Structure 1
Amino acid sequence: MPPSGIIRPRQRSTSQELRSQWASPNDILSLLLLVGGDVVQQALAQQSGTKLPTPVVFSFGWVGYAFTALLSAVGNNRLMPPAPGPSSIILSTNHGHPRTNDSWILNRLLRDYENLWMPNQVKVELEKMLQAANAPKAGLCIAIFEASEKGIAGVPQKDLYWFSGYVVALLQLGIAAVPCGTQGSWDVLLLTAVGTGLAFLTGSLPQWRQERWACRRNSKKTFALSHGNGAQHVLVIQGAGRGLDLEDIARSVEKTAYDWKTKVAFGLLTTLWGGLLITVSGVRRQTWFLLAVGALSMVHTVIIAAAPRNPEWFGIYLDYRGVVVKRKVMEALQSAEKTLPGLGRSMLPVFFPGTMTEHDVRWWSQNSPGRTYSHADLGALSDKAGREDTLERRAEQ
């Protein structure tokens, strides 16, 4: 039978396919730009808030985040991520109504307290109590702070984590410049520079500052921040006429909304990110340099997203004023009431909602200004606070 004349292409072996993929892994680059958007959002929440360009570097996950943020702009009007970790509450001693904290900043402030910025005086007093009581945990440790004059409330104090973003961005550009200098291939450098510029622009939108500090200034209120009943630590912050209204921040998700400029900006930025994704998918040479740029920045982004920060970075400047730590919750609340009249009483429904002894009833009746308590009064305080908070939420809606 005569040959058909059709030349069939020779199929490549598995080893050749693998060798080709490892020599130029351009397919995976496009995929990596779409995954990890939640990490990018956490890093943006950490780094944003200043008037200078926000140093969140170009990394994997940016394209995925851009489309998610565009959906948020059209939908729930929120750039900041939801409050991370265990839920927390905040209450003002003015009324004692516990409110659920929806603020990412305040939850991070509470999380980083034990890990980073707990004053040494608190650690010493807590250790003394634990050793004396031979217990692994205190009933309640109430640290008292006052808004400080050492900084402007709502204006963050830049730290090493913040400046590291600029350093990593320069390192990225240095890596991307290698193929340009050695082989005259400038596409990797161009893509890295464009991605870095888009990342800085996205993180520098004014909406970030508005969401972080959507509150009244120069507050005179005293606030208590905690994870609620069963938690060991309570942070008490006195506004002293120069602090932020933390109750406003806790509900800032309901108080901020995108303006049309932010929506238009995110529409344009998302379009540009999509264009960058298409361009990256077309790169066929020197893709390992792009992978190196992305790997370096992804490590940095993860570190930034998880890094503990001092209160000053969140624009909350505090001076330590004292601590109340006791083995039993009731003892701590009574000591707090003596230290700051009204403080212990306001926390009573949250940390001791049960029935009290005759001794405790008499104590609160004698020591709580202008109040005379009965068993029924004290037992109903928690339910009353919860109902009033629900009514306030409905009224605001």
Structure 2
Amino acid sequence: MAPLSMISLLARQQSEVSSQIRAQWAEPSDIMSLLMLVGADVVKGALAQQTGGSDWLPPPVVFSFGWVSYSFSAILAAIGNKTFLPAPELPALVLSTEWGYHRVNSSWVISRLLRDFEEFWMPAEVKARLVQMMAEAGGRRRRRVGLCVSVFEASPDKQAGVPDRDLLWYSGYAVAALQLAVAAIPWALYGAWEEFAVTAFGTALAFLTASLPHWTQERWSCSRDSRKTFVLTRGNGAQHAVVIIGAGRGLDLEDLATSSEGLPGKTGTPIMYSGLAVLWCILLITVCGIENLTWFLLAVGTIGMIHTIIVAGAPRQPGLFGIHLRYRDVFAQPKVMKTLQELEMAYPGCGRSMIKTFFPGDLHEEEKLWWQAAKKREDTVKKGEKESVLGDITTSKLEDSSGSSILSCSSAL
């Protein structure tokens, strides 16, 4: 009897397990509530990509998994370091050609500029010169040769700190509409409106979080209308360096590189995020209470997560980060020193600012002499520009004084 009892018990257990698996796959309510707690980093990356700007439209960051856990991590950021953008994804330096100093970058925006440059927004002229330089170097190295310096200037046609919008940005509205349409299916077929209500409430909370003003403040927490010239590079051994000339209309990238340190936070931000966290918890409890037709909610969350992942990792043009650039020139040689010398001849101070980064050791005697002569030439150019500016100011003052004297004479007459 004992063996028969054991067999009967095992059979009942297998039947119960099978019925539990079938029930879980029929109505996966538990897994839906668990998925709401994972993926906070993906949500943070999507918020970093889509937020910022002064549009009247809310930034379209869609409802997906991970929002509940993100809301609590955002409270910690609001109370702590006041930094909501992700950390830089790769090491980078921002060099000032005016003083020759370099700063280690802590800005996510600058990190994304460098990350996407080679694969996405590199101008065709730079690509052609890079291929030519590789051919000149021969087949000794295939991945990296010499140094390629691309020169840009701030665009005069667009305002710095005001981002462009691309198709990926607007796609958030289409995806949100698709999610609402999927959630409306059980309402239309079975009269179950709970899925639609949860989706609409989650979408409203996501859009509200993305519309908070601190995103714009943190993205462009730097001076505007800068006349400085900056060099962005990953450091010694990098294939590329990007020179950006402010020209009196660009962002101060040197300031932006360290803007996350001591970023002033608004007193209302922790309160707002605390309120949002409470609302997200209410949404999570509501999702846990839904036991029927949960596949529709799972489909809504999956659609949102796929879009969120794509948005968080997608390469973007600099204009979408409010940095509008116009291409000017490229310098590339198989020898790094040769590239820097050519750059220095065309743009005094640019090549010299990178010497310590790419050549931290001692230079050869002839190289020292060359750079000493270049420094004298740079000082002469700066002195000439300063005298030209002073001359213009003096001339304008003389014209004003002569004009005023003529007016006084005419009034006397």
TM-score, scaled to structure 2: 0.86
User: 1:263 matched to which residue of 2?
Assistant: 270
Pick one of 13, 17, 22 that aligns with 1:14: 17
1:107 to 2:107 alignment: no
Percent identical across equivalent pairs? 53
Residues 341 and 369, structure 1, Cα contact 8 Å, conserved in 2: no
Aligned residue in 2 for 1:393: none
Determine the C-alpha separation between the residues in 1 that align with 2:216 and 2:284.
Answer: 28
- Residue 178 (structure 2) pairs with residue 142 (structure 1): no
Matches within 5 A, 1:169-188: 169-188=176-195
Q: Which moved more, 1:140-149 or 1:130-139?
A: 130-139
Q: Once the 2 structures are TM-superposed, how far is the Cα of residue 257 of structure 1 from its aligned partner?
A: 2.6
Q: Which moves more between the two structures, 129-138 or 48-57?
A: 129-138
Segment of structure 1 superposing worse, 352-361 or 194-203? 352-361
Equivalence for 2:289? 282
* SS class of match (1:57): coil
Q: Is the 8 A contact 1:89 1:227 kept in 2?
A: yes
Q: Does 1:116 align with 2:120?
A: yes
- Which position in structure 1 is the counterpart of 2:3? none
1:79 counterpart letter in structure 2:
F
Aligned pairs for 1:210-229 (under 5 A) are 210-229=217-236
Q: From 309, 320, 327, give the equivalent of 1:320.
A: 327
Q: 1:66 aligns with which of 67, 71, 75?
A: 71
Q: Report the equivalent of 2:173.
A: 166
> In structure 2, the residue corresponding to 1:369 is in which secondary structure?
helix
Matched, 1:57 2:62: yes
* 1:204 matched to 2:211: yes
Tell me, yes or no, if structure 1 residue 98 matches structure 2 residue 97.
no
Report the CA distance between 1:258 and its aligned residue. Answer: 2.0
Residue in 2 aligned with 1:45?
48
Asked if structure 2 preserves the Cα contact closer than 8 Å seen for 1:214 and 1:255, the reply is no
Whether the 8 Å contact between 2:93 and 2:233 is mirrored in structure 1 is yes
The structural deviation recorded for 1:71 is 1.1
Paired with 2:161 and 2:335, the residues of 1 have a C-alpha distance of 36
Question: What is the SS of the residue equivalent to 1:13?
Answer: helix
Aligned AA for 2:308? T
Contact 2:64 2:305 in 1 (8 A): yes
Residue type of the alignment partner of 2:60: P
1:273 deviation in Å? 0.5
Counterpart of 1:76?
A: 81
Q: Are 1:337 and 1:368, in contact at CA under 8 Å, matched by a contact in 2?
A: no
Q: Is the 8 A contact 1:67 1:270 kept in 2?
A: yes
Q: CA deviation at 1:191?
A: 0.1
Alignment equivalent of 1:153, drawn from 134, 145, 160: 160
1:182 aligns to what SS in structure 2?
A: helix
After superposition, the CA RMSD in angstroms is 1.4
Query: Partner residue of 1:128?
Result: 132
3-state SS of 2:354 partner: helix
Counterpart Cα distance in 1 of 2:71 and 2:324? 32
CA distance in 1, matches of 2:228, 2:283: 48
Looking at structure 2, the residues matched to 129 and 122 of structure 1 have their Cα atoms a distance apart, in angstroms, of 10
Q: Where does the alignment leave 5 or more consecutive residues of structure 1 unmatched?
A: 1-9, 373-397
What do residues 172-194 of structure 1 show as CA deviations (whole Å, max 9, x unaligned)?
00000000000000000000000
Aligned-partner SS, 2:344: helix
Mean Cα deviation higher: 135-144 or 150-159: 135-144
Q: Deviations over 1:72-110 (max 9, x none)?
A: 1111111111111x2101011011111000000000011
Q: CA deviation at 1:255?
A: 4.3
Shift, 1:371, TM fit: 8.7
Of 133-142 and 179-188, the range deviating more from structure 2: 133-142
Question: Is the CA contact (8 Å cut-off) linking 2:136 and 2:334 kept in structure 1?
Answer: no
Aligned residues: 362
User: Which of 363, 375, 384 is the aligned partner of 2:370?
Assistant: 363
Identify the match of residue 250 of structure 1 among 245, 248, 257.
257
Whether the aligned pair in 1 keeps the contact of 2:30 and 2:288 (CA below 8 Å) is yes
Whether the aligned pair in 1 keeps the contact of 2:163 and 2:322 (CA below 8 Å) is yes
CA separation of 1:371 and 1:53: change in aligned 2, threshold 3 A: closer
Q: Which string of whole-angstrom CA distances, capped at 9 and with x for unpartnered residues, describes residues 17-40 of structure 1?
A: 101111111001111010000000
> What residue ranges of structure 2 are gaps of 5+ in the alignment?
1-11, 380-413
Report which of the two has the higher share of helix.
2
- Deviations along 1:83-140, one digit per CA (max 9) or x if unpaired, are 11x2101011011111000000000011110111100000111111111221422211
CA distance in 2, matches of 1:244, 1:302: 29
* 4+ residue runs over 4 A deviation: none
Take 1:216 and 1:255, find their aligned partners in 2: how far apart are those partners?
15
Which letter does structure 1 place at the counterpart of 2:368?
V
Counterparts of 2:378 and 2:215 in 1: how far apart (Å)? 44
Residue aligned with 2:376, SS: coil
Q: Which deviations, in whole Å up to 9, do the C-alpha atoms of 1:322-378 show, x marking residues without a partner?
A: 011011111111111101101111110001112221221121122222799xxxxxx
